[in-house]
Structure 1
Amino acid sequence: MSLERTAEGASGSATLTVDELSARVGMTVRTLRFYAGRGLIPPPVRRGRVGYYGPEHIARLDLVRELQAHGFTLSAIEGYLERIPADATPQDIALHRTLLTPWMRDLPETLDRKALVRRTGRDLTDDDIEMLVALGVVEPTPDDDVFQVATAHLSLGVELLDLELPVEAALAAGRIFTEHGRAIAEELTEVFRKTVWPHFRDGGSTPEHLQQLIERFKPVTIQGLVLAYERAVGETQRDTIRRTSNRPKR
């Protein structure tokens, strides 16, 4: 199904001229026409010589802006939108935006080295910075001594500095968490898309309600991961003790 057919089917709700759409979404007319030319939004509904836009155009433009805020390139945005059915309702498109809600408590903050020292309340050696980078709390930028900092986790990073762990251990642990964390995230996302989302969508839930659900789902998921990790560590310790006790004595 083409985007053009979607626009035709929504003719009754298309009431905005391109200038009105521009004011509504905060984008220039030139940008809107560029996006339309790239197929990011359906063509306007024509009534005579005037084209009109409706809720489906607004929903897709809001999604484009959300994807841009997450750092997606225009090509990546095009690929993402291609996977959304052309006959998707504005509500369905809004649900895609909801699923893009950041899960980190705070977005990374850009700090230079002096500001980072002030924030941590301690002098930071090059080794300290290397450790914070290994822990994933600090990320270097192309500018010297300027970093992207996960400020919500900075105090934890400082506590780990006091443990004086080998940086190799932090890097190895980081690789483990990244690898398994990504696998968990992908599998949970599939559960949400295939089970949770259809359940609430078919029940007539609004995007706002689903947003609230995700916000409540975050801490529950994190606590579930912590509980599973604690149990796994306990089981691993018991297995280690059993293997050690069963070894033949020399």
Structure 2
Amino acid sequence: MAEYRIDDLARVAGTSVRNVRVYQDRELLPAPVRRGRSAVYSDAHLARLRLILSMLDRGYAFAQIKEMLDAWQAGHSLADVLGLEEATGAAWSHEQPTVVPMAELVRMFGAQVTPANLRTALELGILRRRGAQLIAPSLKLLEAGHELVKLDVPLGEALKLAAELQRETDRVTALLIGLVREYVLDPKGPDWLPSGDELPRFADVISRLHPLVMSAVSAAVDRSARRVIPEVMGDRLIALAERARDLAE
């Protein structure tokens, strides 16, 4: 996955550094990941920035864009965002963001809840601040980290893995969505907008993307786990089997 400094991001998206900073200040564009003194943006930032620019070109105000993006990110379907519930009936489910007290984090991760690890978790979006509270957008991801730490994997290494997983899943998701864009939307032309009759069909296509990505990625990960676990752990499994046999004799 490509990485960008702010001037590169602005250039590729066709806007200015000043505008990028304005969109961040208006909470339309997520903050970059901090690496030392450098601020690093990803392809996900670029895609969102292009969407913001497209919506601005179509006359949407900042407040309208933020409302749409927040609703979409919170797990509402495009039908909900556009007010098309009756036209499409489409919806998808997301995990609900959950307040995680500091005491719960300490219970899960013990002394590894350090300022540095907390800062990394916030930069990666594994945790978010809401006033004085800490919010976990995905409890499943937090619990996966907990399981790794229980296996004696250092929390810092688990966070590095989370960053890598995010980059890879963003890349795979972009590939899947790119196919739909290339073969379903782009053939209609770059300036195409759905008519009133076409809008329910367009909303339905977009509404199918999230469950499509979830199904495809989940199935691929399941197949990968079944194949890779024996490959990586095979020598250990054989040694354990031999040890168990020796003890039984």
Whichever of the two has the greater Rg, that structure is 1
How does the TM-score come out when normalised to structure 1? 0.42
Higher relative contact order (CA 8 A, sep 6+): 2
How does the TM-score come out when normalised to structure 2? 0.42
